Every structure is written in structure tokens, then in C-alpha cells.
Structure 1
Amino acid sequence: MKEKVIVVGAGAIGLSIAYELCQRGAQVTVVDRDQVFDSRASSTSSSTYSGSAVATRRSASSWAASGILPPANFDSATDPIDQLRGYSHRLFPRWADQLRQTTGIDCQLERCGGWYLADTPGEIAAMMGMVNYWQELAIECEAKSLAELATKEPLLSPWASSAKAKAWWVPDEYQIRTPSLLAALTAACQANGAELIGGANVIDVDETGASTHVTIDHTGKRSKLIADAIVVCGGSWTGSVAARLKLSHSLIPIRGQILLLDMGHRQLSGVINFGNRYLVPRQNGSVLVGSCEEEVGHQHGTTPSILADLREFIRNVCPELARATQITAWSGLRPMTFDGFPMIGKLPDSDAIYVASGHYRSGIHLAPATAVCIADTIEGATPPLSIQPFAVGKQQQQTTAC
């Protein structure tokens, strides 16, 4: 293992990599453009989302994420992303348990199952294709009658009265409370000796001969951090970290918006999936409602039109939820690559610079597997799955001679 590693980015991917490296004995420094989240703020299982905490994370798709972990099966997967997802899905229960033992923070990982609903010909056809695919992967997915849906989830009875509606039940869907997960990772990294530097703008990432370094501007002072290896995990900002990476045109930030409502106590048992929209019931009675996909650059913030669309979605699917109290609303920027594959691995022309970014809507779910693959690669070991499909080189813009 290379002794000193700098991780650029304190989202789910960066913190997971830092945590895995710490477990293997590396001396890790995590650098983030925002103030590093205070792990004590989400250290109790009863705490709710803090809208202000999310709002202060300028680049934060991780901190804004809903925490849905769809079903996956590593043993039967052949598609590279399905393999990555399947390996993470296998790791999550052990990670959540280890983080709780180390930090006392409960990430609220829950195998709550997920309902998948559709009520138009196009949505039904898309779901039938997904069901067939899951069956090929030996993932349990069962068509349910609308009466069964109404019995299990009484709040959905009005929607279930539609003659055109169809429902499927997937028992191996998990959810996790994202702020608690990230708080636990932060605390675990600190407990293992990692240094976390927040409010630090990365000016450059470079290696000259045997020297690999990150230049940062921290509290108005410019300095260099020297390491044996650097892992860049800047989410949608990865392309702007350094020209050395040649990734300035490789990532597109896609904004998503989320509503957080309070029902007083939990009245939905499973995650409700409806195309790209969802309802995620938390243990404390709050419900997350999302989401959307907007190509608006690095612009954060919610908009009246999207929030109105989400409220209309609630009224159509779960009218009782429409009467719940709104706690807050926020947005996050998801990093999307041009081919939909995340970047995981070493920079092609480098001996010590690695990239882990571009996980789009699956950063939380893919974080543990990404961490193991990056740590194995830094160690010179063979990862549990091939990361060649996620090679960084294909995402770099190529220069041509004039």
C-alpha cells in the first residue's frame, strides 16, 4: 500500500475510498471545496435532514441523494455496471454494521423492499422489460395485484383503483439515510487517523518525477500537499479540478430536486418507484419525494415548476401524502459521463493519480465497490471485478495536431 494518499472530494465516493484506504493502513488526507460535514450533526438515528446542511454543500449530489439501493446480484451479473452495483449491494450490510460499531452512528440501512408502479402503456412496457432483465439476473421480482398493493400500502389505495395500473414487488431493495452514512464515514475516517481539510479549493493536481502533489488554497493561503498517490473524486466538479486530468468536457452535471415531507409517523413500508420518481419513507415519519433531471450546468436550487410537478405526482399516487407538512426542499448535481459509465482507475499517463467519478444517480449505491476497486488498484492487487470498462482514458478529451 502506498503510505500517503490524498483524496480530493468528501462525497460518498471520496469518503468511502478514504475509509477503505484507512482500513488498509494508509495515511489519508481528504480535501474538499466545501466545509467538511460535522459527523456529530447526524449521529443519532432520530435526527432529520438538515436543509441548511445540504444547502451548504455546493457540489453535493451525495448529500442530497435519497439513498435508494435497488436490487442487484453480483453472482449473476455480466454487465460491468451491474457487477459494480452487485458487489456494492453485497458489501453494504457489512459496511453499515462496521460503521455503527466504529462510530456509534446508525446509517439506517433497511431492506424495506420496493414497489414498482406503472399506469401508462409506455411505463408498463418499460417495467416488463426490467422485470425480464431482473429475472435473468435471478433477482426476485413478483407481479402483485392492485388489491395486494392496497393491503400492503393502504395510502396507495386511490391510485390502485385505476384499472390500467400495474404493480411489482422487489423484496431486495434497500434504503439508507444518506446524511447518516456520510457522517459515519467521516467519523470513521477521523477515528482511523485521516485528516479532513474543508473549505480548500484545489488549484492543481500534478506529479513531477517522484513527487505527486495537490496545490490547494485554504483560508486564503496557497500550499502543497505531498503524497504517494492522489485520488480525484470531485463529482460534477471533477473536470475543473486540474487541466492535468483532461476531463473538463467529460462530465455533465444533471440537477435533481427533492421534497421532504413530514407525516408524523411512518405510514409507508417500502420504497415507491414510479419511473424516475419515487417516495422514500424514513423511520421517523418523513418522506422524500423526487426527482427530476435537468441540464442546467452547475446551478443549484429548486424551482417552483419542478416542485409543483412533484406535488402533482404526490396527489396522483398518494393523496394522503399531499396533506403532509413540507419540511424543506433541495437540489443536487449528479455527475454524468457521455457514455453513462463512471470513471474508476488510474489516469492513463500517470503513475500515481487516480480518478473515481461520474457515477450519476448511483453514487451512494456504487461507493463501497468503487472504494474496494480503487484501493486494490493502488495496492497493485486485482480488484474483485474488471474495471477496464470504467477506464479513465476514454473519457478524456483528445487533442489533435493541426
Structure 2
Amino acid sequence: MIGGGVIGCLSALNLLERGCAVRLIEKRRTGQEASWAGGGIVSPLYPWRYSDPVSALAEWSQGYYPKLGVALAQATGIDPEISPCGLLWLDHAEQAEALRWAGLQNKPLRAVDSAFIYQQVPQLAPGFSQALWQPQLANVRNPRLMDALRARLLQHPAFSLLEDQAVTGLLMDSGKVCGVRTGSEQYNADAVVLAAGAWSGEWLAELGLGLPVKPVKGQMLLYRTAPGWLPSMVLFDGRYAIPRRDGHVLFGSTLEHAGFDKRTTAEALSSLKASAIALLPALADLQPVAQWAGLRPGSPEGVPYIGPVPGYDGLWLNTGHYRNGLVLAPASCRLLADLMSGAPAIIDPRPYAPAGRVQLAV
């Protein structure tokens, strides 16, 4: 397994539960890239905008997350804090479209008026007249999720972890991928899974394959408030506030095409603070306690690549989830394990297949 984010770790866990032995190789430390940096809303930000393949993964994952949280907490003592606090989409121009989608998908999304809005979240700035509301929509505290996944993996006798080691190449035998190389070390394997997030496109380019996965930077702010100060998640004009159980509030995020530059910027700080105060005026009296950036694995329409790489027998992909890696991870990783083990697939795997979507580089 190449890559130690939520996709790599949860793929490894699924394969271990199928009886496989798994070695995970991460060039830095497990779970410290996009999986740590994201907000953790267990839904695409605007679910009605997405294609059926993304919606299918999201639907399955949303149903599975509560069980995953309980299982990880019981096994490791680390609670991922999956909190079903609900989400308000404020004064959204696509309300009619969203409600049509909710009706077709049987989602508990409904329109609410200003009285409901301010009863649910009294801290909001005045002037909001309508909203979409989905109760019980959850967020996961992703740094704790990654800590729990790492701890759970290390409990398995058939698992080994190599951190601070970069995979530098594939081992090939008679046209089949049979392992990886890290510097002077070689590790044999029956199959290799590439789950390197924003770095996956660069990695496959070295094999002469074109995978349209590019880094897209997102910057976030963190505020510290009293527990319960923000009762629900709120989203307005592309930006959102997410409450954590201990009173921390995340605010994000930017969408920047800046290559692999993860530096935070004063411009983003100013923009995010202005949006945060416009939405929740009491934050004007507080200074953010942290600012950070992560790199999303941008891909066309956000549809991930899950399955075998054509022309490289033994090489598999699970990557390209764009803004929805945490949202789609449970279903994506279960689907990968189904495909690799020959089990019946939880959903139709064809929309995610790399075949026909990964091309020879020109």
C-alpha cells in the first residue's frame, strides 16, 4: 500500500479483514496530509451537484460511518467523534434543485424559514431568510480518525508500517508488478495499491501513464469557543463552520491551484476571517488559534479511480477523491477490497475503473 492517508489506511484495514497481509509505506507520517487537514463533513458540500458515481459512494459511506466510529473507539480507545449535529445551507440559490434531488434520493433535506434558522443557530449574523436543513448529518474529527486507524492497523499481526520512506519505483517480473523499491530496499508483494492522494498523478507519470489527479490547496482556520457554542454546521457562499465537541470551530476553506505549495498565506487568513465574522459575528472578538493548508487530490468531476491499472497487472488505484476523500473513504476502500478479493462489489465498480480513464502519457 503506497500512501498513509484515510484512503490508504482504510484500504489496508479492509484487506487485513479479508485475510491479507499488508505493508503500508508512507513518505512522511501516516495521516498528516489532506486527511488531517480537511473539515470532516460526512457529505459532499453540495450533494445535489454531484454525479451518480459520487452519490453512490457517499450514500454507502454515510450509512457506515457510525459503525466505523464505534468499532475504532472500542478497539483502540480513540474516539473519532462522529457527531450528527446537522447542517444548514443558508440562503442558497439552488434550493429548488436541492429539494428535487432530496426527493428523488429520499434524503431528509428540507427547507426552513428564518425562525427555524435562528432557533437552531442563534449566533448567526442577522438577515438570513431561508435555508436547507439536513438533521443528523455528521462530521468526523479527522485527526482523531487517523490516529484511531493507525492504532487499529498496528494491532494486526499481518500489518507492517514504514513511515518516512518514499517508494521510488515498482518491481516488475514478466510484465507483472510484484513489489516496490524504496531507496536501497525492495519489498515483494502479490499486488501494489497506489493511494497517494494529490501525489498519485505525479507518481504514475513516471510510469508513462497520464492520471489527471492534481493538487488543489485548501486553507482552514480554527477558533476556540465554549463547548456547544455552535450547535450545528453552517454553510454559506461556499464557506462553512464546523463545531467539534470540545468547542473548537473549524472554518474553511479556500480553493487554490498552487501546485504542491502547502504554505499558508496572509491573503487566505484575511479572507477566511472576514467570511467567518460575516457569518458568526461573535468570532470578531476571537483570534484564530491555528491556520493550516492541505492538498486535495483534484480529479475530473471528483470521481475517484478505484481498480486495476490497465497494462500493469498487479497495480491498483484508490485515489482522486478531490474534496470528498473523508466522505467517500468507507465505500471506496470496501469496493477496492471487494475487487481485489473477488467478492461481490458493494456498488457497481464500472464508473471508477481506471481502464479508459488512465492513458499513456504523450
TM-score, scaled to structure 2: 0.93
Instruction: Tell me which residue corresponds to 1:215.
Output: 181
Q: Given the alignment of the two structures, is residue 153 of structure 1 paired with residue 126 of structure 2, yes or no? A: no
Residues 236-245 or 310-319, more deviating: 236-245
- Structure 2 match to 1:81: 54
Check whether the contact 2:27–2:163 (CA below 8 A) recurs between aligned residues: yes
Amino acid corresponding to residue 143 of structure 1 in structure 2: A
- Listed as ranges, the matches of 1:92-111 within 5 Å are 92-111=65-84
SS in 1 for 2:288: strand
Q: Distance in 2 between matches of 1:105 and 1:197?
A: 22
1:266 Cα deviation from its structure 2 partner: 2.5
Structure 1: segments with no counterpart, 5+ residues = 1-6, 38-56, 119-123
- Does the CA contact (< 8 Å) of 1:116 and 1:169 recur in 2? yes
The residue number in structure 1 matching 2:170 is 205
Match in the other structure for 1:351? 313
Query: 2: CA distance between counterparts of 1:366 and 1:144?
Result: 28
Find the aligned partners of 1:61 and 1:211 in 2 and give their Cα distance. Answer: 27
- C-alpha distance in 1 between matches for 2:306 and 2:313: 15
Question: CA deviation digits over 1:221-259, x for unaligned, max 9?
Answer: x21110111110000001222446544551111100000
CA contact (8 A) 1:71 1:139 kept: no
Taking the aligned partners of 1:80 and 1:201, their CA distance within structure 2 comes to 32
The question of whether the paired residues in 1 share the 8 Å contact of 2:117 and 2:130 is answered with no
Deviation at 1:117, TM superposition (A): 0.6
Listed one character per residue, the Cα deviations across residues 86-134 of structure 1 (whole Å, up to 9, x for unaligned) are 111111111111111111110000111111112xxxxx32233222212
Task: Specify the SS of the correspondent of 1:392.
Answer: coil
Equivalent pair of 1:9/1:234 in contact (CA under 8 Å): yes
Aligned partner of 1:379: which letter? S
Residues 1:379 and 2:341 are matched in the alignment: yes
**C-alpha spacing 1:166/1:336, structure 2 compared with 1 (3 Å):** same
The answer to whether 1:192 aligns with 2:166 is no
1:328-370 residue CA offsets vs partner (Å, 9 max, x unmatched): 1000001111343110101112331100000001001111111
1:366 aligns with 2:331: no
State yes or no: 1:20 paired with 2:21: no
Q: Residue in 2 aligned with 1:63? A: 36
Q: Helix, strand or coil: the match of 1:16?
A: helix
Distance in 1 of aligned mates of 2:357 and 2:2: 19
Distance in structure 2 (CA, Å) of the matches to 1:385 and 1:272: 31
2:354 aligned with 1:392, yes or no? yes
Q: Is the 8 A contact 1:205 1:242 kept in 2?
A: no
Q: How does 1:229-378 map to 2 (within 5 A)?
A: 229-243=191-205, 245-247=207-209, 250-378=212-340
Q: For residues 365-387 of structure 1, what are the alpha-carbon distances to aligned partners after superposition, in whole Å with 9 as ceiling and x for unaligned?
A: 11111111111111112211112
SS in 1 for 2:94: helix
1:7-46 matched pairs, under 5 angstroms:
7-36=1-30
2:88 to 94, 103, 115: 115
1:41 corresponds to: none
Match 2:145 to one of 181, 194, 198: 181
Number of the residue aligned with 1:168: 132
Give the length in aligned residue pairs. Answer: 356
Spell out, residue by residue over 1:157-214, the C-alpha distance to the aligned partner (whole angstroms, 9 max, x if none): x33x35xx32121114110000110111111111012111111111112431366011
Taking only aligned residues, the RMSD between alpha carbons, in angstroms, comes to 2.0
3-state SS of the aligned residue for 2:293?
strand
Q: In structure 2, what is the Cα distance between the partners aligned to 1:144 and 1:126?
A: 14
Conserved in 1, the CA contact under 8 Å of 2:205 and 2:211?
Answer: no
CA distance in 2, matches of 1:277, 1:249: 29
1:266–1:286 contact (8 Å) kept in structure 2: no
The one-letter code of the counterpart of 1:197 is L
Distance 1:333 1:83, change over 3 A: same
8 Å CA contact retained: 1:206, 1:244: no
Q: Check whether the contact 1:235–1:335 (CA below 8 A) recurs between aligned residues.
A: yes
Which 5+ residue runs of structure 2 have no aligned equivalent?
Answer: none
Residue equivalent to 1:144: 112
Report the equivalent of 1:132: 100
Give the SS at the match of 2:345. coil
Are the counterparts in 2 of residues 71 and 173 from structure 1 also a CA contact under 8 Å?
no
CA displacement at 1:148 relative to structure 2: 1.6
